[in-house]
Amino acid sequence: MKTTKPTLLVVDDDTAVLEISNALLQNLGFTVISTSDPLEALSLLQNNPEIDGLVSDYRMPVMNGEELAQAARTLRSKLPIFILSGSYPPERVSAPWDGWILKGSPVRDLFARLDDALMCRLGGIGSESESRERERNAS
């Protein structure tokens, strides 16, 4: 079982939103790698096996969040993927992401959804005490 902090790859073409997302996720106890370029994100996923999850904006130039999620799934089929967007998700019978989180949602909701996905998909990351500590810091 992995005992280090989970590492998330965060992708958003808006650098201000990217900085805020990074700070928020780091405060929740995650290690964060970030980029504003979806193509670079795929390279980072391919070359960094320590990345435990992907959090991406939906509306980006070159490649949107859905296209990024589909490409990421081909590289890492069990990777937890979340879209963090200012809009509601498009209607899909089957989506290539594990969850859709609206920007501005309560921090506790974001933490709980990410932590649950990481625990389910990756078989338990971190320790229970680390998880409780991150939850306390999120409130």
The pLDDT of 97-101, averaged and rounded, is: 89
What pLDDT, on the 0 to 100 scale, is given for residue 132?
A: 38
How far apart, in whole angstroms, are the C-alpha atoms of residue 48 and residue 132? 27
The pLDDT of 50-66, averaged and rounded, is: 95
The pLDDT of 25-44, averaged and rounded, is: 95
The pLDDT of 93-114, averaged and rounded, is: 83
What pLDDT, on the 0 to 100 scale, is given for residue 131?
A: 42
Domains identified in the chain and CATH numbers: 7-138 (3.40.50.2300)
What pLDDT, on the 0 to 100 scale, is given for residue 136?
A: 43
Burial status of residue 99 (CB atoms within 10 A of its CB: 0-12, 13-18, 19 or more): middle
- What is the chain's length? 139
The pLDDT of 118-134, averaged and rounded, is: 51
What pLDDT, on the 0 to 100 scale, is given for residue 137?
A: 47
Q: How many CA atoms lie within 13 A of 57 on its CB side?
A: 23
Does position 110 have pLDDT exceeding 50, yes or no? yes
